[in-house]
Amino acid sequence: MLFNSIEFAVFLPVVFVVYWFVLKNSLRGQNLLLLFAGYFFYGWWDVRFLGLLFFSTFLDYFSGLQIHQALSHQRKKLWLLISVIANLGFLGFFKYYNFFAESFAALLTQVGLQPNLWTLQIILPVGISFYTFHGLSYVFDIYNGKTQPTKQFVEYGVFVCFFPLLVAGPIERATHLLPQFFKSRVFNAALATQGLRLILWGLFKKMAVADNCSKVVDEVFTNYSTCSGIELSMGAVFFAIQIYCDFSGYSDIAMGSARLFGFELLTNFKTPYFSRDIAEFWRRWHISLTTWFRDYVYIPLGGSKGGAWSAIRNTIVIFLLSGFWHGANWTFVFWGALNALYFVPLLLTGTNRNHVDTVASGRMLPNIKELAQMAFTFSLVCVAWILFRSDNLQAAFGYFSAMASNTFAGFSLSAWNSILLVPIGFWLLVDWTTREAGVSEVKGTWRLVAFDIFLILMILAFGSFSHRSFIYFQF
């Protein structure tokens, strides 16, 4: 079920009314409703994979209990390995089997062998990367003594399949979200209003900005060999805007929907395109994933304790894993490697923590240096996005080659429409002016009412109502 669909527009109010008006005095009833709603929401896409979701949930629930009750370290490790191997096994089979089979066959072909390629027609379960990482963080935290397991399967089940975050995050931690399901919730009108505003803001970014940018992006990346340098550069910039507004739009709707039911989710984006270097960008982009890799891969590998070279090695590892997490395609691996390459000079010079505050904090406008830093960082990110968006490495390198050779060709994009600059400009203005507090924290009643009305008008005027899927559903 898509957030930008008629089905969700009916589903959300129905669950809301039953939750607050029918079950308001029953915490267990509310949690059972959210559990049912999560499975209904997921099953709307493909009911066949509900069994996989349930199995993954039960496996981690049971493994968590066994890890906690184990009397020896070896038994704790055994149950941790069972959970990790099973979870990654399912993820690997559904997401990466054909990739490894085809890559292995290509390698054998290079040495003169002609293997019989055996691939499967596998449907990738939507959201499997996200709910797998939810469960793994739970068993890791129990194993490391950071949290206690719950004996309540319903509450743990809701933690895994809470419908706002089920298919595209943010990737929650049990230490943050799970305790919220055990606390009585009282309807908070201010929190619900903030939630509705976040939903509106997310729908605007998705429907009025991302889905319109996609038309230009699709044309450029499909016909890159005949596009001019300016059109190719434009395609990369528009994809940067598209993927940010698409994914952060989803996250805003997820956070807004959660607030309607009295829950707070982790913030997943903090205006990443206003970053002054690539390290700051990655502290602000897909925060729940980057912190997951930091806590469960980078730090266990030793982090930066072994010095600069240890930090470089571990950084390269997490960027490669992050790229591979995104999809079974060498383009994602190269995308991760390129971002690691961007990061290395900052580690060598010890400047990767230079920008931990918000740019132009307390000021309306950035200075010239900050503006140059943001422009340079954004350019690096756009170059990397070309790898991310391309269908394969051949197309990616062809795109780069065309950018270099077609620099002075003419402009002939049929999908280009200058009216797109209106919603893009509005998004940039709002993102900049709310870069420190966030949209949901803006004060002033009349200002907020005017903002909400204007958002609705912008969606009606510029929004695409084709119900285009969110980009991160494929991951």
Q: What is the spatial distance between Cα 175 and Cα 159, in angstroms, rounded to a whole number?
A: 11
Q: Where are the alpha helices (DSSP H) in 406-463?
A: 421-433, 445-462
CA-closest candidate to residue 396, choices 224, 230, 237? 224
Q: Which of 68, 73, 134, 326 is catalytic?
A: 326
Q: What is the spatial distance between Cα 42 and Cα 8, in angstroms, rounded to a whole number?
A: 12
Q: What is the spatial distance between Cα 284 and Cα 279, in angstroms, rounded to a whole number?
A: 9
Residue 387 CA from chain centroid, whole number: 17
Q: Is 326 a catalytic residue?
A: yes
Cβ contact 468:214 at 8 Å: yes
Cβ contact 41:257 at 8 Å: no
C-alpha triplet 297, 159, 294: angle, nearest 5°? 15
Q: What is the spatial distance between Cα 173 and Cα 52, in angstroms, rounded to a whole number?
A: 21
Cβ contact 140:81 at 8 Å: no
Query: Ramachandran region of residue 285, left (φ > 0), alpha (ψ -120 to 50) or beta?
Result: beta
Cis peptide before 149 (omega within 30 of 0): no
Which own/partner contact pairs does 4-9 have at CB distance under 8 Å and 24+ positions apart?
4/203, 4/206, 4/207, 4/467, 4/468, 5/467, 7/44
Query: Ramachandran region of residue 303, left (φ > 0), alpha (ψ -120 to 50) or beta?
Result: left
Q: What is the spatial distance between Cα 25 and Cα 50, in angstroms, rounded to a whole number?
A: 29
Residues that are catalytic = 326
